[in-house]
């Protein structure tokens, strides 16, 4: 089942009411009530259109129910073109009348608005009711047959492209000219099986894609569908119209592909099990919530503009925005995320929408910053509020340049914000790279960070210390490496896309909860207290409240669970125990009250099956490989624990000799990798030389591609050895002339690496597990 609802929001200046959307076609009373309401609405619209006055009231919540049972699809062909669909829904007489009127004496803005108005939909009486006969005569309902071996053909993407997308680009352009906003709501319970945004074939022999299929490139539709929805996202922002996806199903529905259109337009994405769940109902009510004046709590046509001084250049932005590709002299050639511009746009935003901007210090001789001088960054936000008015908010930030090792850098460092930004950069890289490469990049940055800001005695890891403003940063990075944003095991592509979408739009506080969840302990000893996110925190005589933003777990210890099953809390003599059970339940209500979508609430007992939601996120300080006492649970895993992670970090950041050894190992690994690639290339060339005729007479030929160069790693390793005084000619034979020549021009190829000390110039990954 897939249903599309196009919502054109008109901000009426007077007492506006809206029609509740429910089902009930089987109830005769509901059908009769709906028919009366439709007749009333039709009469009101005809009168309003004839008089030219604004429609003050479209209906009352008590008037009846709106019929949404009709769902027509354009069949593939000429009607699926945007221009044909545009003409199908456009009143040509309105266009001709508007175009024939004189435009002399009008300003350019008035003339453009007049032309846009000419492309408006037909008047309400004709568009909603009068055009039914013409529509029925020129279009037929697309009956898509299915067999026992095929799933029903869901054309969610093709119907969106042929029906909703033209309506969006068309209606929302008219809405922009008349101060209106728009949302497109998609309610689906299955993946698309036809059209340019297809997710899976209708043949039941083909299963829907998994992460392994995506990694091994066994996905015939994934890349094409993602590109299609990215184009849709740009059209939505140009309109502007927001796309909301409500996917309620026990299986995947293609949210991983649709995510780009939803995220860039600022819409909502909900993954649920059923449309009757409280999660779905709360999210839908939240979208149409109103302020104290009765206006919808929505912001449309949001434009973000950044202005900086000449010593700073703009690299890009990460968040629910689309680049408008407007360049000037403050835009950097280096792009991060949505870059190449100083202006971004999104269709809608909320009071929780958060965007990360990235800047680059100018290297031009006449623009280099001077220590002690000030620089400014100005953020200009324009949007249209629910009452139809346009608002502009200007935020100006002033900072002062300091030298590289100034103590002001340490005192002004915000480690929570830094981690949330690094998380966005990591998931942005994860879209194009393997997860292990992203983790290697995070480890490399963490080692450089610790070496730069840590206090230690050279080659003495036990002396390593970080100041309070930096002390939690390695811990945050440890949990980021283990998070669902990078470790996609046991998650579907739809779930991973949802997790990354939420991280890319939430603020610092919620992002930190997603990366490192919170854990509260409830016991008879006193009020709830926060405890470490560690397996040692699980005890039989306590209740744990675990909050990971996406789901909340109430975990009862073994003794607590036994007492609850024996119903001690119902005995008046055990009031304290009853209060202990009620305390986390009341706190959960407050936690999820302002979160959209509402997180899943899991209640479990120690050693129960649902306890896996908690155990998977805890630090495995006690495993099957460590010595432990009987008072703590054991996690059966080979993952690295936090203590070993920090020990390796201290050793790598402070021990210069270990850095040199890793550089030599890196040289050897690269040498072996190049030999293996050359061997594989020779095998492919041998296969390509053998041609044979197929069954149909066509020739089969293998495509041979060039092996990977690994030039970035080569540059860093050789630059490290060069800084240590190593003779590079000794290793020159192991690399191609192109790679080695790039190393010789290291100052121009990688200035950021050249400026580093030798111990910081090597990429090294902290091991995933340690041998006992």
Model pLDDT for residues 53-78, shown as the tens digit of each residue: 544 433 333 333 333 333 333 333 33
- Take residue 438 and report the two structure tokens written for it: 């992203």
Which of 287-296, 444-453, 494-503 is the most confident on average? Answer: 494-503
Residue 72 is classified by DSSP as -
Of 70-74, 177-181, 185-189, minimum mean pLDDT range: 70-74
Q: List the end-to-end C-alpha distance of the chain, in Å, as a whole number.
A: 53
Query: Structural domain boundaries of the chain?
Result: 1-15+151-288, 296-403, 655-690+703-760
Buried b / exposed e along 17-33 (16+ C-beta atoms within 10 A): eeeeeeeeeeeeebeeb
Whole-number pLDDT of residue 650: 86
Q: Report the alpha-carbon distance of residue 225 to residue 238 in Å, rounded.
A: 20
CATH tag for 296-403 (out of 2.60.40.1670, 3.40.190.10, 2.60.40.10, 3.20.20.10): 2.60.40.1670
Q: In what order do the strands lie in the sheet with 322-323?
A: 322-323, 343-349, 299-308, 374-384, 390-400
Is the predicted pLDDT of residue 359 greater than 90, yes or no? yes
Is the predicted pLDDT of residue 207 greater than 70, yes or no? yes
Got the DSSP string for 701-764?
-----PPP--HHHHHHHHHHHHHTT--GGGTGGGS-HHHHHHHHTHHHH-HHHHTS-GGGS---
Of 497, 501, 502, 422, nearest to 211 (Cα)?
497
Q: Are 225 and 157 in contact (CB under 8 A)?
A: yes
Q: Are 331 and 313 in contact (CB under 8 A)?
A: yes
- What's the mean pLDDT in 603-617? 93
Q: Report the alpha-carbon distance of residue 171 to residue 240 in Å, rounded.
A: 9
Rg, C-alpha atoms of the chain: 30
Question: What value, to the nearest 5°, has the Cα angle with vertex 385 and ends 381 and 386?
Answer: 160
User: In degrees rounded to 5, what are phi and psi of residue 59?
Assistant: 150, 170
| Sign of the alpha-carbon dihedral angle for 158, 160, 162, 163 | positive
CATH number of 1-15+151-288: 3.40.50.410
Is the predicted pLDDT of residue 135 greater than 80, yes or no? no
Q: Are 762 and 659 in contact (CB under 8 A)?
A: yes
- What's the mean pLDDT in 256-269? 94
Three-state DSSP class for 130? Answer: helix
Q: Are 299 and 267 in contact (CB under 8 A)?
A: no
Three-state DSSP class for 88? Answer: helix
pLDDT in tens, 292-309: 888 888 899 999 999 999
pLDDT in tens, 706-735: 333 344 455 555 665 565 555 666 555 555
């Amino acid at each position: 089942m897939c249903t599309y609802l196009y919502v054109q929001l008109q901000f009426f200046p007077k007492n506006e009411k809206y029609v509740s959307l429910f089902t009930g076609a089987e109830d005769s009373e509901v059908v009769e009530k709906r028919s009366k309401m439709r007749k009333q609405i039709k009469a009101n619209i005809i009168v309003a259109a004839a008089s030219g006055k604004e429609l003050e009231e479209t209906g009352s919540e008590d008037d009846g129910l709106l019929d949404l049972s009709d769902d027509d699809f354009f069949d593939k062909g000429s009607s699926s073109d945007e221009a044909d669909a545009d003409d199908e829904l456009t009143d040509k007489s309105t266009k001709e009348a508007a175009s024939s009127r004189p435009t002399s004496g009008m300003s350019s803005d008035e003339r453009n608005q007049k032309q846009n108005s000419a492309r408006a939909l037909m008047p309400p009486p004709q568009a909603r009711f009068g055009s039914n006969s013409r529509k029925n005569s020129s279009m037929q309902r697309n009956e898509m047959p299915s067999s026992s071996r095929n799933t029903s053909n869901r054309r969610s993407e093709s119907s969106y492209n042929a029906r909703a997308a033209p309506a969006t680009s068309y209606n929302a352009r008219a809405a922009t000219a008349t101060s209106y906003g728009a949302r497109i709501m998609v309610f689906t319970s299955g993946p698309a099986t036809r059209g340019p945004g297809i997710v899976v074939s209708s043949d039941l022999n083909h299963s829907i894609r998994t992460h392994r299929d995506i990694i091994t490139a066994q996905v015939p539709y994934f890349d094409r569908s993602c590109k299609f929805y990215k184009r849709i996202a740009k059209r939505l922002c140009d309109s502007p119209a927001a796309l909301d996806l409500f996917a309620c199903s026990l299986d995947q529905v293609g949210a991983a592909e649709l995510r780009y259109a939803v995220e860039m337009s600022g819409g909502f994405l909900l993954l649920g099990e059923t449309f009757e769940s409280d999660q779905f109902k709360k999210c839908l009510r939240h979208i149409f919530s109103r302020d104290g004046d009765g206006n919808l709590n929505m912001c449309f046509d949001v434009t973000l503009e950044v202005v900086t001084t000449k010593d700073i250049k703009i690299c890009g932005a990460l968040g629910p925005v689309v680049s408008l590709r407007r360049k000037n002299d403050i835009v950097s050639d280096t792009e991060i995320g949505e870059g190449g511009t100083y202006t971004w746009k999104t269709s809608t935003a909320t009071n929780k929408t958060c965007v990360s901007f990235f800047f680059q210090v100018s290297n031009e001789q006449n623009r280099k910053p001077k220590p002690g001088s000030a620089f400014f960054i100005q953020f200009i936000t324009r949007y249209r509020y629910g009452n139809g008015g346009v608002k502009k908010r200007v935020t100006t930030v002033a900072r002062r340049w300091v030298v590289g090792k100034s103590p002001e850098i340490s005192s002004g460092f915000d480690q929570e914000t830094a981690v949330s930004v690094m998380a966005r950069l990591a998931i942005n890289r994860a879209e194009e790279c393997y997860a292990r490469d992203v983790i290697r990049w995070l480890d490399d940055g963490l080692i450089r960070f610790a070496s730069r800001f840590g206090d230690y005695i050279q080659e003495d890891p036990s002396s390593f210390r970080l100041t309070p403003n930096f002390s939690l940063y390695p811990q945050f990075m440890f949990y980021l490496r283990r998070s669902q944003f990078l470790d996609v095991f046991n998650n579907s592509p739809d779930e991973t896309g949802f997790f990354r979408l939420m991280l890319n739009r939430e603020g610092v506080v919620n992002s930190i909860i997603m990366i490192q969840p919170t854990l509260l302990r409830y016991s008879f000893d006193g009020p709830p207290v926060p405890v470490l996110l560690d397996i040692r925190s699980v005890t039989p005589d306590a209740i744990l409240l675990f909050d990971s933003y996406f789901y909340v777990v109430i975990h009862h210890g073994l003794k607590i669970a036994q007492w609850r099953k024996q119903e001690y809390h119902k005995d008046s003599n055990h009031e304290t125990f009853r209060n202990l059970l009620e305390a986390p339940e009341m706190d959960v209500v407050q936690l999820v009250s302002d979160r959209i979508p509402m997180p899943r609430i899991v209640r479990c007992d120690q050693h129960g099956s649902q306890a896996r939601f908690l155990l998977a996120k805890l630090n495995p300080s006690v495993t099957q490989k460590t010595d432990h006492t009987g008072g703590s649970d054991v996690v059966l895993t080979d993952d690295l624990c936090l203590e070993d992670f920090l020990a390796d970090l201290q050793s790598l950041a402070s021990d210069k000799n270990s850095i040199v050894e890793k550089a030599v190992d890196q040289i050897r690994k690269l040498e072996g990798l190049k030999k293996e690639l050359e061997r594989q290339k020779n095998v492919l060339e041998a296969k390509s030389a053998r041609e044979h005729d197929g069954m149909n007479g066509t020739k089969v030929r293998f495509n041979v591609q060039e092996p990977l160069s690994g030039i970035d790693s080569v540059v860093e390793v050789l630059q490290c050895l060069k800084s240590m005084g190593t003779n590079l000619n000794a290793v020159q034979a192991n690399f191609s002339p192109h790679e080695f020549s790039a190393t010789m021009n290291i100052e121009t190829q990688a200035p950021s690496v050249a400026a580093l000390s030798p111990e910081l110039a090597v990429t090294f990954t902290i091991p995933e597990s340690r041998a006992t």
